């Protein structure tokens, strides 16, 4: 158990934010409930008597400063992160505390690396973007698979989802991302991001049992195309998504996730299969679990725990695989995922 350190959760009443609040409480932290909607914050607080409620808006720096007062760290769960990340990071820098977010938006994560790396390094503080299922998780798996390799020719991250019922936040973030890239899709090739107008390819990916081979959308780019090459010398980073899950994500009538157990998790299951190749050699990391939104909570809270206890490898803006011991981090999540290295 922790010594009651306060951690501000901005966007605490959102779907993922609620999982994060519960995980913080379970691990002995004291969540400070923050976000833009005061009524939703009061609603959430009714389920957690005694927690501090501090409404804040990204357009009101003073309210953000108040939300972070006395906190040891801040977790940003409020998208679209193209709107929220920079103001909350600025507040964290003013407060001198670590910032961690769960952004899956490619462009928002690029902005964080581009605009805050030098300032965070100079301040000796830590900023970890995309510390979530998309971005952080794939980066940890790719880093673990690499092992002692200092470079690789290519990295492939295949997402085998049983289905994907997106939250309202996921849909809103997707709209912002598509607008920012003018409707184009993006991939990471030749050591840089490439924007394309053509349709992505469809192919088959050999997921391990029990999922087995499945049709996937190739070059279905997620935040991993930012996090992985931010610290690994891999000129080709490709991400894939099962066709059924991609279809549910794009369909306007797909319902939001629905709780199916006492922890609020949906029935969704996932397999993340990561393959890295170098000069003909291949290494693999596989993780399996349940509910991509729920599993983000132990990911981000484990990150905060390690930051606050000094189990980090660098300062400044850093992705999960760079700042943490990737295999050790993934094994620490054994209560939530299964993880295996295959070499």
- In CATH, what number is assigned to the domain containing residue 157? 3.30.360.10
For residue 33, being part of any structural domain is answered with: yes
Number of domains within the chain: 2
Task: Give me the chain's average pLDDT, please.
Answer: 97
Same domain, 152 and 249: yes
pTM of the predicted structure, to 2 decimals: 0.97
Q: Strand 6-10 and strand 237-242: pairing? A: unpaired
Same domain, 144 and 257: yes
Same domain, 272 and 319: no
Domain at 95, CATH number: 3.40.50.720
15, containing H or E segment:
helix 15-26
Same domain, 97 and 117: yes
Q: What's the whole-number mean pLDDT along residues 137-165?
A: 98
Same domain, 93 and 233: no
Same domain, 122 and 138: no
Q: Strand 202-206 and strand 213-217: pairing? A: antiparallel
Q: What is the DSSP letter of 188?
A: E
DSSP tally for the chain: helices H, then strands E: 12, 16
Q: How far apart are CA 302 and CA 330, in angstroms?
A: 10
Q: What is the pLDDT of residue 3?
A: 66
Same domain, 167 and 64: no
Same domain, 280 and 162: yes
For residue 332, being part of any structural domain is answered with: no
Same domain, 118 and 217: no
Same domain, 139 and 274: yes
For residue 80, being part of any structural domain is answered with: yes
Q: What is the pLDDT of residue 244?
A: 97
- Helix pair angle (292-308, 15-26), 10° resolution: 50
**How many CA atoms within 13 Å lie on the side-chain side of 200?**
22
Same domain, 198 and 84: no
For residue 154, being part of any structural domain is answered with: yes
For residue 184, being part of any structural domain is answered with: yes
Q: Both ends of the chain: CA-CA distance in Å? A: 36
For residue 227, being part of any structural domain is answered with: yes
Q: Does residue 326 come out as left (phi exceeding 0), alpha (psi in the -120 to 50 range) or beta?
A: alpha
Task: Spell out a b/e string for 127-155, using b for 16 or more CB atoms within 10 Å of the CB, else e.
Answer: bbbbbbbbbbbbbbbbbbbbeebeebeeb
Percent of the chain with pLDDT over 90: 99
Q: What is the pLDDT of residues 47-103, one digit of tens each?
A: 999 999 999 999 999 999 999 999 999 999 999 999 999 999 999 999 999 999 999
Residue-range definition of the domain harbouring residue 125: 6-131+296-327
CA distances to 66, 98, 199, 220 from 196, in Å: 43, 36, 8, 12
Check residues 126 and 342 and name the one with the higher pLDDT. Answer: 126
For residue 102, being part of any structural domain is answered with: yes
Q: What are the backbone dihedrals phi and psi of residue 76, each rounded to the nearest 5 degrees, phi first? A: -95, 115
Q: Does the pLDDT at position 1 exceed 50?
A: no
Same domain, 239 and 182: yes
């Amino acid at each position: 158990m922790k010594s009651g350190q306060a951690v501000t959760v901005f966007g605490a009443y959102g779907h993922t934010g609620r999982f994060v609040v519960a995980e913080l409480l379970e691990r002995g932290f004291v969540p400070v409930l923050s976000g833009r909607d005061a009524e939703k914050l009061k609603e959430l607080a009714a389920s957690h008597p005694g927690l501090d409620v501090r409404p804040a808006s990204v357009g009101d720096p003073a309210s953000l400063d108040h939300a972070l007062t006395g906190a040891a760290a801040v977790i940003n769960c409020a998208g679209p992160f193209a709107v929220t990340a920079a103001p909350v990071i600025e507040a964290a820098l003013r407060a001198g505390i670590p910032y961690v977010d769960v952004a899956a938006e490619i462009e928002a994560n690029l902005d964080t690396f581009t605009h805050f790396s030098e300032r965070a390094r100079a301040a000796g503080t830590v900023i970890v973007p995309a510390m979530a299922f998309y971005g952080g998780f794939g980066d940890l798996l790719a880093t673990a698979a690499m092992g002692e390799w200092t470079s690789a020719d290519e990295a492939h991250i295949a997402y085998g989802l049983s289905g994907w019922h997106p939250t309202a936040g996921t849909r809103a973030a997707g709209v912002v991302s598509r607008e920012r890239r003018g409707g184009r899709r993006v991939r990471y090739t030749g050591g840089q991001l490439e924007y394309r107008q053509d349709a992505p390819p469809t192919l088959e990916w050999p997921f391990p049992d029990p999922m087995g081979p499945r049709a996937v959308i190739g070059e279905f780019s997620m935040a991993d195309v930012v996090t992985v090459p931010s610290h690994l010398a891999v000129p080709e980073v490709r991400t894939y998504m099962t066709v059924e899950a991609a279809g549910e994500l794009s369909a306007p009538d797909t319902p939001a996730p629905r709780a199916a157990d006492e922890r609020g998790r949906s029935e969704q299951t996932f397999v993340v299969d990561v393959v890295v190749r170098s000069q003909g050699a291949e290494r693999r990391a596989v993780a399996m679990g349940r509910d991509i939104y729920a599993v983000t909570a132990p990911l981000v809270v484990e990150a905060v725990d390690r930051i606050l206890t000094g189990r980090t490898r660098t300062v400044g803006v850093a992705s999960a695989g760079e700042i943490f011991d990737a295999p050790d981090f993934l094994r620490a999540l054994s209560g939530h995922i299964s993880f295996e290295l295959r070499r």
